[in-house]
Structure 1
Amino acid sequence: MGRCPVPYLRRLIQDRNQHPPASLDANPGTAPDLATWPAVGSTRFRRSEATAPIGQGDQVWERATQDVLRWAVKARSGFTVDDARKVTPGSELTITARMAGVTIREPVRVATVVENDTRVGFSYRTLPGHPVTGEEAFIVHRDGDDVFVTVRSLTAPGNEQPWRALYPLLRIAQVIARRRYLRALR
């Protein structure tokens, strides 16, 4: 594509082509350590948060907190995780999705891990080669005896083709995956 002669459109194209994870460093991302996810000013990322009950009691809490820190939300939702050990900040791994005979590799880096008496979970950021750009968090939390899972995500189109062009279809796949995530720890 040649140079765009209209300055406004040129700036929009340049903004779109910037690598969005760099802009994640300027905000709290998915903030898995916080009970309330703070709204950030304008962003290029599509923001999503969903919560579902898992069950009640200490046994449910113990099981769910162990599972969430070992990628069970992804694994039980149809993904393959190349390292199912307990998450650690900075660890890099590849998640694999297989759909309709197509294998999709999703390189990621664990950004934040939180473990306290009422909240356990982590967030990860996408790396180059991932179909989308952004951050996702899986959080198990409790309110009294009730145990919940929350999934938060910030998503933008990936920088590479064919993923950028396929972003509308990837959004549909994300909605389906999110439903599975919310059932994965029951």
Structure 2
Amino acid sequence: MKLSDLAGKPLTYPEIGATAGPLPAGYHHVRKSAVIGRGRDRFDEAAAAGMAWGMLRGAGLRVHATAPVAEVGAEVLVHLGPVVAPCRVVYVVDEPDRRGFAYGTLPGHAESGEELFLVRFDAATGDVHAEVAAFSRHATWWSRLGAPVSSLMQRLITDRYLHAL
């Protein structure tokens, strides 16, 4: 699969943008966060790295994208060993104390759903948080068959995302 194969393909789920609020029913949900430092400089550094696919790369995944930083409509191939996961950025968060993006799954992905990667600055405490929110369900026979392993992998990779920046 190549990036050029993704153009025009529809997302594989109807709840586009739902990681921005309550996660939709009928999916496996993930919401995790970790403090990754303190101060505005740390926030700026982590946010810039995160927007350049830093949580993914820092978790050990290979990323090929149509843009060097996340932008709405950018298409992404995420590689975990031989598994390739095609996605498209569906929204970007660019606020003074919150930066990140969410991408959704495209045909060919083993799961169907959306994942948000966010860096947040808490002005009251000075803490910088990495956050991940996701909803997903199996989209292929082989991901259903390997559900225990794929669920374990998702938990491990989510933890790696949080410490990648």
What is the TM-score of this pair, normalised by structure 1? 0.77
**Structure 1 counterpart SS, 2:22:** coil
**Structure 2 counterpart SS, 1:105:** strand
Does structure 1 residue 155 correspond to structure 2 residue 136? yes
Does structure 1 residue 52 correspond to structure 2 residue 34? yes
Query: For residues 1-186 of structure 1, what are the structure 2 equivalents within 5 Å?
Result: 21-25=12-16, 28-31=17-20, 37-38=21-22, 40=24, 43-83=25-65, 85-98=68-81, 103-144=82-123, 145-158=126-139, 160-185=140-165
Q: Deviations over 1:133-163 (max 9, x none)?
A: 11000110111121101100101011x3322
Distance 1:176 1:87 in 2: 23
Q: 1:38 to 1:161 in 2, by over 3 A?
A: closer
Q: 1:122 to 1:47 in 2, by over 3 A?
A: same
Gaps (5+ residues) in structure 2? 1-10
- Report the counterpart of residue 11 of structure 1 in structure 2: none
The answer as to whether partners of 1:52 and 1:149 remain within 8 angstroms in 2 is yes
Distance 1:95 1:123 in 2: 14
Distance 1:167 1:22 in 2: 19
Q: Deviations over 1:69-112 (max 9, x none)?
A: 011101010100013611110111201001xxxx1000000011
The answer as to whether partners of 1:132 and 1:167 remain within 8 angstroms in 2 is no
Say which structure, 1 or 2, has more relative contact order (CA 8 Å, 6+ apart): 2
Instruction: Using the TM superposition, give the Cα deviation of residue 168 of structure 1 relative to its aligned residue in structure 2, in angstroms.
Output: 2.6
Distance 2:39 2:47 in 1: 12
Identity %: 30
Alignment length (residue pairs) = 153
Deviating 4+ runs (over 6 angstroms) = none
Instruction: Using the TM superposition, give the Cα deviation of residue 132 of structure 1 relative to its aligned residue in structure 2, in angstroms.
Output: 1.0
Question: 2:33 is aligned with what amino acid?
Answer: T
Question: 1:161 is aligned with what amino acid?
Answer: W
Question: 2:150 is aligned with what amino acid?
Answer: L
RMSD of aligned alpha carbons: 1.8
The answer as to whether partners of 1:108 and 1:126 remain within 8 angstroms in 2 is yes
Instruction: Using the TM superposition, give the Cα deviation of residue 39 of structure 1 relative to its aligned residue in structure 2, in angstroms.
Output: 5.3
What is the TM-score of this pair, normalised by structure 2? 0.86
The answer as to whether partners of 1:134 and 1:154 remain within 8 angstroms in 2 is yes
Which protein is bigger by CA-based radius of gyration? 1
